[in-house]
């Protein structure tokens, strides 16, 4: 494992200790559907066997179980796995937790779906993770990835990259204070986007506006904390799954700022 990967796992382990809870819109089926867009309806999760790669604190695990998934294999490499176990305890018997990296997902599980929400862009070389997902799926099974996008993010990326020259090196308290401080202008920007067609206005009004103040601070922290992050172009996002052997690739440009990608394992 590269030094960047090891540090990113440690970064997220610390992050999940402090930002381990989810409720309201932040943990809702509505947000899951917002992420999936036209690629899949949450009703299609009913009865499926699913893996969630990079499960974090279990937010998307709980979403999928609430949607009616039969079982979720939750893979999480960081120390946040303890928060994951606590948050999914009420679903005992329907959750299997693997404390390991994405490539530790066992082959031959005959899964219907492998899902990864906001994780792959933090892995410097994700090919082995995507291949493990392929091997764990049944023929005809699908992979769904949600990734930060390059298209539509020009101004934001310039701002975030400038901050990220410093923020990955900050201790938790300093970064949390910065995230809390940035939450103030973010709230004002969301309010302005309700009246003006500003950059990212669709994401601001249809997604972030529904988050509580605490959850918005967690999102800011999440953007600035990891040691490594990659923003994907449309073709890079497509290549991620197709190079692993997936076919019938479909992409959704979510609110003009990120990519949801779906591919199918040939039958």
What distance in Å separates the CA atoms of residue 138 and residue 123, rounded to the nearest whole number? Answer: 25
**DSSP class of 96:** E
What distance in Å separates the CA atoms of residue 136 and residue 139, rounded to the nearest whole number? Answer: 10
- Indicate if 136 and 9 belong to the same structural domain: yes
Neighbours of 28 (CB within 10 A): 16
- Indicate if 121 and 36 belong to the same structural domain: yes
- Indicate if 127 and 202 belong to the same structural domain: no
pLDDT of residue 3: 66
Asked if residue 175 has pLDDT above 70, the reply is yes
What distance in Å separates the CA atoms of residue 198 and residue 254, rounded to the nearest whole number? Answer: 16
Q: Which range has the worst mean pLDDT, 36-40, 75-79, 233-237?
A: 75-79
User: pLDDT band at 21, cuts 50/70/90?
Assistant: confident
What distance in Å separates the CA atoms of residue 22 and residue 29, rounded to the nearest whole number? Answer: 12
- Indicate if 172 and 88 belong to the same structural domain: no
What distance in Å separates the CA atoms of residue 231 and residue 122, rounded to the nearest whole number? Answer: 9
Asked if residue 125 has pLDDT above 80, the reply is yes
- Indicate if 207 and 96 belong to the same structural domain: no
pLDDT of residue 80: 85
- Token pair belonging to 256: 């003009």
- Indicate if 215 and 235 belong to the same structural domain: no
pLDDT in tens, 161-172: 999 999 999 999
Chain-wide mean pLDDT for the chain? Answer: 93
pLDDT of residue 11: 75
Asked if residue 73 has pLDDT above 90, the reply is yes
- Indicate if 215 and 239 belong to the same structural domain: no
- Indicate if 113 and 216 belong to the same structural domain: no
pLDDT of residue 20: 77
- Indicate if 130 and 175 belong to the same structural domain: no
- Indicate if 138 and 212 belong to the same structural domain: no
pLDDT of residue 128: 95
User: pLDDT band at 15, cuts 50/70/90?
Assistant: confident
Q: Are 6 and 228 in contact (CB under 8 A)?
A: no
If one counts the domains in the chain, the total is 2
Question: DSSP per residue over 226-260, as a string?
Answer: -S---PBPHHHHHHHHHTTT-EEEEEEEETTTEEE
- Residue reference for tokens 């019938």: 248
Q: β-strand 111-117 against 49-53: which pairing, if any?
A: parallel
Q: b/e map of 106-123 (b: 16 or more CB within 10 Å)?
A: eeebebbbbbbbbbbbbb
- Indicate if 139 and 169 belong to the same structural domain: no
pLDDT of residue 18: 79
pLDDT of residue 234: 97
Residues 129-134 have a mean pLDDT of 97
- Token pair belonging to 127: 């090919």
- Indicate if 133 and 187 belong to the same structural domain: no
pLDDT of residue 13: 74
pLDDT of residue 75: 97
Q: What residues make up the domain containing 170? A: 154-224
pLDDT of residue 195: 96
21 or 54, greater pLDDT: 54
DSSP H/E element including 205: helix 201-206
pLDDT of residue 79: 86
CATH for 77: 3.40.50.150
């Amino acid at each position: 494992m590269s030094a960047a990967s090891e540090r990113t796992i440690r970064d997220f382990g610390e992050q999940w200790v402090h930002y381990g809870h989810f409720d309201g819109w932040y943990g809702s089926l509505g947000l899951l559907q917002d992420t999936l867009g036209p690629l899949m309806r949450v009703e299609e999760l009913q009865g499926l066997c699913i893996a969630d790669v990079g499960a974090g604190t279990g937010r998307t695990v709980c979403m999928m179980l609430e949607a009616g998934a039969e079982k979720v294999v939750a893979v999480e490499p960081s120390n946040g796995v303890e928060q994951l176990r606590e948050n999914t305890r009420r679903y005992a018997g329907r959750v299997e937790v693997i404390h390991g990296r994405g490539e530790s997902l066992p082959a031959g599980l005959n899964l219907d779906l492998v899902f990864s929400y906001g994780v792959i862009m933090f892995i410097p070389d994700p090919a082995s993770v995507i291949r493990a997902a392929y091997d764990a799926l049944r023929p005809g099974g699908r992979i769904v990835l949600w990734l930060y996008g390059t298209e539509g993010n020009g101004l934001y990326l310039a701002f975030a990259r400038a901050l990220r020259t410093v923020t990955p090196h900050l201790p938790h308290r300093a970064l949390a204070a910065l995230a809390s401080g940035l939450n103030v202008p973010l709230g004002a920007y969301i309010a302005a986007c309700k009246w003006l067609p500003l950059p990212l206005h669709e994401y601001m009004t249809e997604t972030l506006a529904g988050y509580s103040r605490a959850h918005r601070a967690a999102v800011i922290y999440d953007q600035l904390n990891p040691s490594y992050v990659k923003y994907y172009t449309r073709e890079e996002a497509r290549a991620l799954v197709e190079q692993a052997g997936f076919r019938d690739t479909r992409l959704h440009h979510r609110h003009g700022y990120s990519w949801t990608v779906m591919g199918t394992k040939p039958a």
